Chains A and B, each alone.
Chain A
Amino acid sequence: MPKSMGAVKQAIPAEIGGETDAVMGSSGAAAEAVAGRKILPIVEGVVLVAALLAPLVLQDYLTVFATRVIILALFALSFDLVWGYAGIMSFGQALFFGSAGYGVALLARDLDITNIFLVLPAGTIIGLTFALLLGGFLLLGRHPSSVIFVSLGTLTGSYAADRLARGWYYLGGQNGIPSIAPMTLGGYEFSEGPPFYYLVLGILVVVYLLCRFLVRSQFGLALAGLRENEQRIAFFGYKVQHLKAIIFAIGGAVAGLAGSLYAFHEGFVWPNMVGVVVSTQVVLYVLFGGSGTLIGAVIGAVIVEGVSFWLSDNYRDIWPIILGLLLLLVILFRPLGLISFVLGERERVGSFGAKIKEKRDAAP
């Protein structure tokens, strides 16, 4: 992962002079870190308010589109946990997303189970289980596995699942499983529209807060160590492989939750949903928005999907090329994603000790 210190220099006013500033331009950053996070909560708040208001101003068909985008943003969170925080390159995140989608589609088709309190946990558990199996195989060895091994392994897993789904009659082959019954709560059916939108938004907010809690905990500090220098923290006595498998499994669970929502929202599942295309898409959301911030993943999903939607309407034939160029531009010139326009490197990494320090200083 590129670590641009240049971004730090730009973002930080030279509050404190002296030689250290001349070296790294970082004393200002330290002051910022001690004072706590500033920009991030603002960005999060703005995104939340915009999301809450969206259905009030959008036409119905756009609310349906926005619901899909929120589900994909939830999916993007799962990849940000795995890559942005733990540095595990998962090119197969759709495997967990799609298998959960297929799982809940089968529950609905074959067992008539559509109760929200059954299908969403089921999807989450399917994602978790697949991630544990694949993660156990790829990540748990006596010695840590290489990035290439893990990325190719997850890519292969996703590709194999896609082929399997296409060829398996029970799963509907190429066509997937159409006309999934709507998700229910008692007698109420969740069909497309504002209620489904707010349901999905509520779930996103809860999952987001849980992820936020996790990545800012001491466990999050261990993840930061993992991402920065895996070998170093193994020498401290961290069980690096376990840490990776745990976060990978959590990522799988979140992807599974997103996948089951997606299946019920779209009303059908098809092989692409477990395949390489969707796996790559989620990587792009996170790189585009900015990895390792959570909110960057959400913004990335919204912008990539929004721009594709708009482009496909207005430039019917060449829109994928325009989108591709846009993505390339961002990745080339803003390796830390769009969020880096407003967010400095120091705040992105955060300070795990600052909070406790403030508390101590405040106490008499």
Chain B
Amino acid sequence: MPLLEAAGVSKIFGKLTALDGAALTVGENEFHGLIGPNGSGKSTLMKCIAGAEVPTQGKVSFINTDITAFTPTERARAGMSLKFQITSVLPSLTLYDNILLALQAQSSLLDLVFSRTRGLLHDQVMTMLTQFRLADRAFDPAAALSHGQQQWLEIAMALAGKPKLLLLDEPTGGMSLEERRVTGELLQPIKKHCSLVIVEHDLDFIRDICDRLTVLDQGKVLASGTVSEIQANKAVQEIYLRRA
């Protein structure tokens, strides 16, 4: 049974059909890349999975539960996590507090009011920050980080709740080559406990870290398969050549 299954997902904005019966299946501990030309519906599909948009048609299942109508909060509690395309770290809070905020989301109200989990979560906060190479900046406000570091912080925040599935929308957008390489390294270890759906323009990056790829074109699935299958696919080569 796959971890995530989206089937026949359509999304219509007024006259624009952003998605037209798209599908996506992701297994456990699988890194799945979602690629396609601009406007092919990658981000919209991502949003339908994350709950930021409600599909006009179709169904999204997660761990055998139909979550199509779940709110983002309900999805998060079910084990799904999202990193937005636009970085949305909380700029005036420190890095430490950004991570703590993500970690303590599961704490009960009384625990929060009496700060009962603050001590317990301290080590986890520092571990996350160390893992993402941000520990020495723990008490800087997030606004002071470089763009690439903000993206890492956000990935760390998205992973804080130990999700089963992480959705990453263009994690390397605006990053330098070196930062991209590090991002790839940072993502590798999470494979042990988490699946990944990743939307990304950088095909080299996708090829390096993903197990399977789904190619979207004009809101439809053009092809889906392992990285080598997709690379050999004629139709895929064509759309990329056509737009290049």
Which residues does A use to contact B, with CB under 8 Å? 3, 5, 20, 23-24, 26-27, 29-30, 33-34, 142-143, 214, 217-219, 221-222, 224-225, 228-229, 231-240, 242, 246, 345-346, 349, 351-357, 359-360
Contact = CB atoms under 8 A, between A and B. Distances in A.
The dominant DSSP class at the B interface is: helix
A26 to B, nearest CB: 4
B104 A30 contact: no
A355 B77 CA distance: 29
Contact of B105 (A237, A242, A354): A237
A239 B72 CA distance: 10
Given A229-B90, A235-B82, A237-B73, A224 B141 contact: no
Interface residues of B, number: 47
Interface of B: 50, 71-73, 76-77, 81-82, 84, 88, 90-94, 96-97, 100-102, 104-107, 109, 111-119, 122, 125, 137-141, 143-144, 146, 157, 160-161
Contacts of B101: 221-222, 224-225, 233, 236
Given A143-B71, A219-B109, A24 B143 contact: yes
10 contacts: A3-B92, A20-B140, A217-B115, A224-B101, A237-B76, A237-B106, A242-B109, A351-B139, A353-B125, A356-B122
Given A26-B143, A353-B96, A218 B104 contact: yes
A29 B141 contact: yes
A218 B100 contact: yes
A167 B140 CA distance: 56
A148 B96 CA distance: 32
B113 A236 contact: no
B229 to A, nearest CB: 33
Contacts of A214: 113
A351 B138 CA distance: 10
B115 A218 contact: yes
Given A217-B112, A235-B82, A237-B161, A357 B96 contact: yes
A23 B116 CA distance: 36
Given A29-B141, A349-B93, A218 B72 contact: no
